[in-house]
Amino acid sequence: MPKNAVAIRTADQLRAVIRESGWSANELAKFTGVPQPTITRFLNGGDMMLSTAEKLSAFLAEKPKPTPEMRDNIAQQLRDAIADSGLSAKELSKVSGVEQTTLSRFIRGRDMGVNRAAKVAAYLGMRLTKRPSQKQ
């Protein structure tokens, strides 16, 4: 195990560290290379290979909390929130009023209009805002 890796004794401890870290399953997948379904399955009580657990432990030891710079992409933040909600595109469509096909395409990486994104974000308790320009 890398020298900075978190000493995790049980699967439950690793689950707790992941949940307390603030990282979404999608973010962990992006930064560690561990597939998001593997992480989600593990968080829901499934098993994981030791090498995968070590990879996650090492990453969490170096980056225990996500920084705003790592979450700079609005679309990815919304995709992460959708994934973390546990709702299917069909379920989210019913409650947000955004077409299921639009949501499915967005989840798979396609773009979505701002008005539709705002509806989804509002349902998920998020708000889309424009940051002030940093140009001088």
pLDDT value at residue 24: 83
CA distances from 36 to 7, 22, 65, 75, 89 (A): 22, 15, 18, 17, 17
pTM for the whole structure = 0.49
8 Å CB contact between 135 and 121: no
Least confident of 13-27, 53-67, 119-133: 119-133
* For residue 48, pLDDT beyond 60: yes
Q: Which DSSP category does 68 fall into?
A: G
pLDDT value at residue 136: 47
